[in-house]
Amino acid sequence: MVSQNKNKGIDMLTFTNTKAYSELKELAKKPFNLNQDGAITPKRLEQMVVSAPNWNFLYGFQRVDEAVILALTKLAQELEVHDKMAAMQKGEKINQIIGFESENRAVLHTAMRDIFSEAPLSKEYSDLARIEHAKLKEFCLKLDKEERFTDAILVGIGGSELGPHALYDGLYFFRKPNRRLHFISNIDPDAIAMVKRELDLSKTLVIIVSKSGSTLETATNEAILRKMFNEAWLNPNEHFISITSPKSMMDDKSKYRECFYLFDCVGGRYSSTSMVGALPLAFACGYEVLLDLLKGAHEMDLHALEPDPKKNLPLLSALLRMWNRNFLQLPTIAIIPYAQVLARFPAHLQQCDMESNGKSIDKMGKRLDYSSGAVIWGEPGTSAQHSFFQLIHQGTDIIPLEFIGLKNCQGGLDFDIQGTTSQEKLVSNLFAQALSLATGRSSENPNKRFEGNRPSSIFLSEKLTPRSLGSLLALYEHTVAYQGFIWGINSFDQEGVQLGKVLADQFMKAAHSIKAGKPDPSYPVANTLFEMLKRLK
C-alpha cells in the first residue's frame, strides 16, 4: 500500500477512503449494546485492558466488540499513524499545511523530556533541553542557599498557565512546605489584585512566559507587576525571570534575573515539560520531583511508539474516541478525575485537545467532510455526580466519559469508616458510575428509568506520583496527536486564536481614540459598542 506521493510528500490516503472506514460505518449501524443481558461480564472486563507505564486502560464499558477493535486497528495501520508518531518524535516538520503558508516546524515537546537517553530521538533539541536543565539545576541550588523566596508568580496565558497549573495542583503533596506558586493569565486586573493580597513581594519571584516576548496579556500584566515592585522599593530585575525564545525582546539579562528558553518546536499547550512547567515546578517541589515527572512522561513517549494498536494505550484511546465521534456521532467527551488534586486537569485537556484538533481543513488545505475534534470538559468526581451527572444518565444526548481513578490517595489521610476507607468509597463510586451508565435500569416509572448503553473508559493507576502524573500528561498528549494523524489534520498550530487578537487590537485603538475625544471612523462597530459602554450606570 502506498500512502504518500513520494515526489510531493503529500498524504494521498485519507480517513474516509480507507477500507477500515467503510467497515466501521457498517459496524456502527448495529454497535455493541452495553445494556443487553450478559453484556458486561468479568471475562469482557479482564480482556479489554491495556497496560502502559504507570497506567492501565479499561475499555470494557465502551460500545465495541472484537470486530470493531479489529477494524479500528486496521484503520490505524492503513493510515500508518505509528510511523507518523515516530516521525514526530524524530523531529520531522509535521506542523504544516501543504501548499499554504504555515508554521512549517518540527513538533518536539517529547525532546524536552528525552534527556535521560544516551541516544535521544532528536539529539539537537534534547541537547538544548539538557543545557536548560543544567541552568535550572544551578538556579534551584542558588535559591535554596538564599532561603529568601517563598512564593513565585507564573505569568502566562493559555498553555503557559493551564498545564503548569494542573501539574502544580497534581503534585500538591510533593510541594516543599515553604514554597507556593500563584498563577496570573487573565488580563483582568482583578487577577493580579487577588494574587497580590497573598504575597510579601520581597519574598516573591515573578516568572514571565512568552515565546515571542510580546504577548499582549502577558506584557500588560508584567508592566503592572513591575510597577508594584517599584512602588514597594524593590528592584524588579532581581525578582523577575523570563521564559522565552532565544533572542526575543525578553531574552535580556539586564531586565531579568535569569532567562530560560522555550523553543519554536514546542507549542504552548505542549510546553508543560519544557522550562515553562519545569522552572515553576522545580521551585515549588524541588528539582528531583521534576525529574521524576519528566521520566514518567518519557516512559509514555516510548510506549506511544508501540506498533501494535491494541497494545498502544494512547493510540487505542484515540481510536475509541474516534469510534464515538465519527461513527456513533457523539460530539463531546467528559473527563472525570476521581482525584481532587486533578481538579484542574480537565481544563488543561480542554486546551490541549480543542486547540489541537478543532480544525475544519486537512493538511492539504481541503475542507473536511467529517467531524474532527470533540468538545472536552469535566470536573472531579464525586462532586460531579451531584452536579451534571443527571444529564449524563438521563439526558437526551449521550456523552462518553473518561474516568481517571487511583487505588491509593496521595496525602495518606485515609481511614476505615463503616467497613471501607474513603479512597475505597471514592473508587467504588467511579466503578458504579461506569457500570450504571452502561447497563442502566428498567422501571415502569419513566422518571426512574435509565436507558444505559452510555460508553465510558477508565484510566487506573496505583497512586498519583510525579512519575505517574508525567505519564498521564503524555498519555493525553499522544491521544490528541494520534487523533490528528488519523483525521489528517494539523494538530500543532492554532490559527483560530489569531483572528480575535487582531480584532481586539482594533477595539483597543477605538477605545483610545474615544478617550482622547477623537473617535476614529475606521472602527464604527467598536465606536458604537464603547459609546454604549460609557452610558452604562
Burial 473-491 (b: 16+ CB within 10 A, else e): bbbbbbbbbbbbbbbbbbb
Q: How far apart are CA 279 and CA 154, in angstroms?
A: 10
Q: Are strands 105-106 and 151-155 parallel, antiparallel or unpaired?
A: unpaired
Angle CA 404–85–332, to nearest 5: 40
For residue 54, give the C-alpha cell.
Answer: 504507570
Helix (H) or strand (E) holding 205: strand 204-209
**Dihedral sign, Cα of residue 107, residue 110, residue 114, residue 120:** negative
For residue 154, give the C-alpha cell.
Answer: 507564573
10 Å CB burial of residue 258 (0-12, 13-18, 19+) is middle
Q: Which residues pair with 367 in a beta bridge?
A: 361
| Residue linked to cell 486497528 | 73
Q: How far apart are CA 530 and CA 295, in angstroms?
A: 51
For residue 246, give the C-alpha cell.
Answer: 532565544
For residue 404, give the C-alpha cell.
Answer: 481517571
Active site residues: 355, 386, 501
Q: How far apart are CA 245 and CA 260, in angstroms?
A: 8
Query: Side-chain half-sphere of 227: how many Cα atoms within 13 Å?
Result: 8
Max Cα–Cα distance, the chain, nearest Å = 75
Q: How far apart are CA 473 and CA 273, in angstroms?
A: 9
Residues 6+ apart with CB under 8 A from 140: 282, 283, 286, 287
Nearest of 20, 80, 49, 117 to residue 488 by alpha carbon: 80
Residues 6+ apart with CB under 8 A from 142: none
10 Å CB burial of residue 522 (0-12, 13-18, 19+) is exposed
For residue 406, give the C-alpha cell.
Answer: 487511583
10 Å CB burial of residue 36 (0-12, 13-18, 19+) is exposed
The DSSP secondary-structure symbol of 2 reads: -
